[in-house]
Structure 1
Amino acid sequence: MIISSDEIIERVNSGNLTLEPYSEGSQQPASYDLRAGEDYILKKGECTLVHSMEKVGLPADLAATLMCRSSFGRRGVLIGGGYVDPGFRGNLTLCLVNMGPDDVPLTTGERCVQIIMHEVRDGKVLYDGRYQDSEGSVEARN
């Protein structure tokens, strides 16, 4: 089940979910728009690692899917990857691929990717991988 804006807000306010800094303008009916952590140029034909402004922290009963906002999709920007396990903490590294005909500027604080949170039933195992507590954009780690 996808959680609603009311539940996202309730969880953020109670400390059960981290979206820091939270922005009311990023809250959607059943998702939250993550913002770019700095200025980037999404060059045509290239993958750019963009970090979210928000630090995200998911509890054991939530996982998340990432999707590009449609305004970027209309310009040919796609996201690679896009799943966040329960227990993840840190900035998210967003792998944005520009398949459009032009470079696409992305400014600090611009809403670029939607995070859609899903309920995990009987979630007991938390993410504890190599990207835990990420800060900024993180290259692939072996």
Structure 2
Amino acid sequence: MILSDRDIKILLKSGELVIDPLSDDTIRENGVDLKLGREYCAFKKTNTILDPNKPGNANEFYECDSSDSFVVESHRHYLLHTLEYIKLPSYLAGLVNLRSTWARTGIYIPSTVTDAGFEGQLTIEVIGSEFPVKLYAGDRFLHLILVKMETPSEKPYEGNYKGQTGVRLPKFFNNK
């Protein structure tokens, strides 16, 4: 079952669902809009092979920075993060989508699921359009659809990305 704005407000009020900061324009008809944070990492073009068993230095593969705005270059991949820190209970999962305004610019994000029990800022991959697009920290960028599972998860998320803030690189780099 997809949660409505009423359901979301009830869960927020009870403390079972946490979204911080929570803005007036965050809760939508059937989900929650999330804003861009300030950090980003651009994937570097390289012939170096990324071996997850011996990943080497993350700087060989990613160029990371923070700013109030930046340009998503054509066909380039980035990791971005949400401004909001979220905490899902063991019976809610989230489906992350790009807000339609941004999809209409040609920016793309792969399918992303937020697991039941996840807590932290979301790190999301963004792929550039046919033309450069400027993004600003604080803009509503993602739409998180909250889905109530029929029964709570036996093993809510406890992985390496729990509690993450900012952009989080793959776990084999042992960052943050």
TM-score range normalised by the length of the shorter chain? over 0.9
1:131 aligned partner, one-letter code: Y
Deviation at 1:52, TM superposition (A): 0.2
Q: How does 1:1-142 map to 2 (within 5 A)?
A: 1-38=1-38, 39-98=69-128, 100-123=129-152, 124-142=154-172
Q: Assess if the C-alpha contact under 8 Å between 1:36 and 1:110 holds in 2.
A: yes
Name the larger-Rg structure. Answer: 2
Deviation digits for residues 56-94 of structure 1 (CA, Å, limit 9, x no counterpart) = 100011000000011111111111241010110000001
Q: Over aligned residue pairs, what C-alpha RMSD do you find?
A: 1.1
- Identity fraction in percent: 28
Deviation digits for residues 75-128 of structure 1 (CA, Å, limit 9, x no counterpart) = 111112410101100000011111x22211111110111000001122132001
Over 2 Å off, 4+ runs: none
Q: Distance in 2 between matches of 1:139 and 1:81?
A: 18
Q: Which runs of 5+ in 2 are unaligned?
A: 39-68
Q: Which runs of 5+ in 1 are unaligned?
A: none
Aligned residue pairs total 141
